Structure 1
Amino acid sequence: MSAEAKKRATGTALARRLGVLLGAVGLAAPLTLAVGGTAHATAPTCTTRTGPHQKDVEKFLGRPADGRQSPEDCRAIQDYQMRHGIRPDIGYAGPVTWAAMQEEITRRDPNAAGKCPVDEGRVACVDLTRQISWVQDGRSVRFGPVPVRTGREGNGTRTGSKRIYWRSADHWSTLYNVRMPYAQFFDGGQAFHAIEGSVWSPPGSHGCVNMRASDAKTYWSMLHNGDNVFVYGRKPGT
């Protein structure tokens, strides 16, 4: 083969390789853009169904609480779901969405229902139903709400108005042979106190209000003998 022929053959082969490469790039780029665009630009279709918590969810979002799903209601619910990572985020007012909203309500104002007295000065409130406690002065929440573990079946935490009457920072229970740090007694042998395990572990206490160590320590610094305690509700399963 002549030098000129070899040169032409080499050029043809190079052109073919370049064409294949450009073709691959040309195919890959549109696919990437299409996939990327689809993932970020297409939102789930809004549902027209009315959820079981429609009125509650509408009220929470500041929408007209008529219990009927409108396109505007759906978009507002869907936006909330997307911001809070709730799936499916189709604007359906279901139990998961309402539970997330209830948690927000509790954080904002645990006494929104007005069940704990607001006219007795400082009060340590205990809601057995929600298994939470907080300290308030009048209508102002000073600490909490925090999770607690109250009495189990047969050893329920007694409800009603009480007062702290005895405190023991490093208490030892001779009855149950266990430490009760930052114990503040308000009803017989029932007290606020820290525990080493989880406050979410079943089945519950023997009547005391079990707390995380940091929360019990804060209660110790905020409460004193004579301060009010109000216990209400009913622990699920008791």
Structure 2
Amino acid sequence: MGDKSRRVAVVLGATALVAPLTLVLGAGSAQAASCTTQTGPYQKQVEKFLGRPVDGRQSAADCKAIQAFQTKHGIQPNAGYAGPVTWGVMDLMLKQKAVGNKPNKDGKCPVNKGRIACVNLTLQLSWIQDGSKLVYGPVPVRTGRDGYETRTGLKKVYWRNIDHVSSIYDVPMPYAQFFDGGQAFHSVGVSMWNPPGSHGCVNMTKTDAKKYWSLLKKGDDVYVYGRKPGT
């Protein structure tokens, strides 16, 4: 691609980590909120997920366990309330776990392209396959929030930069592999379940981003499908 097109792509890609950076700073500096005594609408579900006694009534121990989960994943306010955002994260985790080692069981990611990186927005999962053979994953990812959705469709990796830094926001985007108008796979330092999501990029843990870097190359296919919850 031309230098001008590449500069445009980099600028667009830079916006992908504005929110994650804010969330990193916010999550690290925020003080733990006071524990609520209120019983949330998803109290029983949350209690069961956390291995707490399932009685549907908030207790000090329940609140402490819920609050620890919220703090770990950057869910605000982290007051220990069993609300829809907290349960939504837990429910997604359960659905991801249920996939096991058959992420393409529904056959929606093409098996006639050879090596391809698949992104299921609905389940916030990604994996690499070669035909019908699973090569790596599935792994949890963090895609675009409402209004900044990761675009769906068949794409190709068009530019890779292992030490990419946004030229506008001076934000690091390690192991960046761009596949659509500035949207890229890259690592971040926040939880993959940290709401509400990125500004379009497919965020990954450092371990998974490094593995994708070693397995993919320029020109490889990427297929994004589904719809992220809340978008």
TM-score (norm 2): 0.59
Distance 2:138 2:113 in 1: 19
Listed as ranges, the gaps of 5+ residues in structure 1 are 1-84, 89-97
Question: Could you tell me which residue of structure 1 aligns to residue 9 of structure 2?
Answer: none
Distance 1:149 1:200 in 2: 7
Q: CA deviation at 1:226?
A: 0.3
Within 5 Å, which residues of 2 pair with 1:75-224?
103=96, 105-224=98-217
Distance 2:160 2:93 in 1: 36
Of the three residues 213, 225, 231, the one matched with 1:232 is: 225
Partner of 2:173, secondary structure, is: strand
Q: CA deviation at 1:130?
A: 0.1
* Aligned CA distance change for structure 1 residues 102 and 149 (closer, same or farther; 3 Å): closer
Q: CA deviation at 1:200?
A: 1.1
Aligned partner of 1:146: which letter? V
Partner of 1:117, secondary structure, is: coil
* Aligned CA distance change for structure 1 residues 100 and 228 (closer, same or farther; 3 Å): closer
Distance 2:202 2:94 in 1: 26
Q: Which is bigger in relative contact order (C-alpha 8 A, separation at least 6)?
A: 2
Distance 2:146 2:92 in 1: 25
Could you list the runs of 4 or more consecutive aligned residues of structure 1 that deviate by over 3 angstroms after TM superposition?
Answer: 98-105
Distance 1:180 1:218 in 2: 15
Give % identity: 61
Q: Could you report, residue by residue, the CA deviation over 1:66-123 in whole angstroms, capped at 9, with x for unpaired residues?
A: xxxxxxxxxxxxxxxxxxx9x99xxxxxxxxx99985555122000000100000011
Question: Could you tell me which residue of structure 2 aligns to residue 56 of structure 1?
Answer: none
Q: CA deviation at 1:196?
A: 1.3
* Aligned CA distance change for structure 1 residues 205 and 166 (closer, same or farther; 3 Å): same
Contact 2:124/2:141, CA 8 A, preserved across alignment = yes
Q: Could you report, residue by residue, the CA deviation over 1:152-210 in whole angstroms, capped at 9, with x for unpaired residues?
A: 11110000000000000000012443100000000011000000111211111010000
Listed as ranges, the gaps of 5+ residues in structure 2 are 1-50, 55-90
Contact 2:122/2:227, CA 8 A, preserved across alignment = yes
Q: Which has the larger radius of gyration?
A: 1
Report the RMSD for the aligned CA atoms in angstroms.
2.2
Distance 2:94 2:207 in 1: 26
Distance 2:203 2:92 in 1: 24
Q: How many equivalent pairs are there?
A: 145
* Aligned CA distance change for structure 1 residues 178 and 103 (closer, same or farther; 3 Å): closer
Distance 2:134 2:108 in 1: 14
Distance 2:96 2:124 in 1: 12
Partner of 2:100, secondary structure, is: helix
TM-score (norm 1): 0.57
